Amino acid sequence: MAQLTDRTAYSPDVPSLKEVFRNRLRIGAAVNTWDLEPEAEAGRVIRKQFGILTLENESKPLYVHPEEDRYFFDRFDKFVRFGEENGIALRGHTLVWHGQCPGWFFRDGDSDASHDLLLSRMKEHIKTVVSRYRGRVAVWDVLNEVLRDEGGLRESRWYRIAGEDYIPAAFFAACEADPDARLVINDYNLESSEAKADTMAALVESLIRNGVPVDAVGLQMHLNLYTDMELLKKNVRKLAELRRLKPDFKLEVTELDLSCYRWGDNAEDLIWTEEHERAFREKYAALFRFYLELSEEGILDSVVFWGLNDGVSWLNGFPVRRRNYPLLIGRNNLLKPAFFDVAGL
């Protein structure tokens, strides 16, 4: 039933994932600005283990741009400074999303904003944020979760007001603000829903054919112990085919975790058994073997975990409050046997 070992992620004598996978995969994590004290425990874990970081919440429009004429960059600035001071690359998450986006974007007095007003606000937001960190934030999740789970475009407020137009416009605005940044379209369940993977492949194909500067598909990969690996590989391979249209096109794993509950299961805390432990270790090892295969082929170069350790994972609060164990680093930063399996690959 071993879930944890007695060694921490920042001990000098344990492997560093970023070193183990150097020149093969850049390994990262989602963090919050309170983690960014270099000598505190979280800061030591980050500096030892990770070569790329994403802010879990604080770079989203709700925090950066809560009112139309006020931007708040303090926390984003702290994140960028921490990355620069510690030689860690940075991802910007996220510019356009239906979640954590303040309502003012979509309103004009008592009515809905018009198509043109919404697009001009979106472009202004993107240009202001991306140009502030030009050359410093290497990758942007320009669009997040624009697809419906069953395929097709999500009928978000963005879509209802601006139709499909916001999609290319967001990439053009980001590219104008930083032509060298990698621009990503990011989504979940791409590995488990063929309909969603097909929609993504078709959408990105048409964007590329129309000269829209999209550089990568972000695979969030919020997985669970029951995720079908064969289907995952098939869907990922389908998306990898986009490279035919653009030789330097990439996939990224942007929000990896492995819940012990099935998708849609809202049961209370489970008791971790040897069965869970075996499935967890096998799945993580199989995943990383697949990532390494994709890295060899030049299509994947970055894998980011969604959270620093089990104790702070969003999955302890979603879809209900319960304990979850989705990462390679457990509570109190204690390493799991699965960490050593992966580090041995």
Q: CA-to-CA distance for 223 and 190, rounded, in angstroms?
A: 11
Candidates 220, 214, 258; CA nearest to 236 is 220
Active-site annotation holds for 84 = no
Active-site annotation holds for 145 = yes
| Options 58, 191, 252, 255, the catalytic residue | 255
Nearer to ligand G3I, 154 or 278 (CB): 154
x/- letters, 110..129, toward ligand G3I (CB under 6 A) = --------------------
- How many residues of this chain interact with ligand G3I, rule: CB under 6 A? 9
In angstroms, give the least distance from the CB of 12 to ligand G3I. 30
In angstroms, give the least distance from the CB of 188 to ligand G3I. 6
Candidates 61, 54, 62, 101; CA nearest to 80 is 54
- Look at strands 111-112 and 107-108 and give their pairing: antiparallel
Asked whether position 257 contacts ligand G3I by CB under 6 A, the answer is: no
Asked whether position 99 contacts ligand G3I by CB under 6 A, the answer is: yes
| Options 145, 191, 252, 277, the catalytic residue | 145
Task: Tell which positions 34-93 bind ligand G3I, by CB under 6 A.
Answer: 56-57
Q: Which regions of the chain does DSSP assign to beta strands (E)? A: 26-31, 52-55, 89-96, 107-108, 111-112, 139-144, 182-187, 216-219, 222-224, 250-259, 300-305
**35, 178, 191, 255: residue in contact with ligand G3I (rule CB under 6 A):** 255
Asked whether position 316 contacts ligand G3I by CB under 6 A, the answer is: no
Candidates 287, 257, 97, 249; CA nearest to 186 is 97
Residue the block writes with tokens 């400074």: 81
Candidates 34, 18, 141, 39; CA nearest to 88 is 18
Interface residues with ligand G3I (CB under 6 A)? Answer: 56-57, 99-100, 144, 188, 220, 255, 314
Instruction: Indicate which residues carry an active-site annotation.
Output: 145, 255
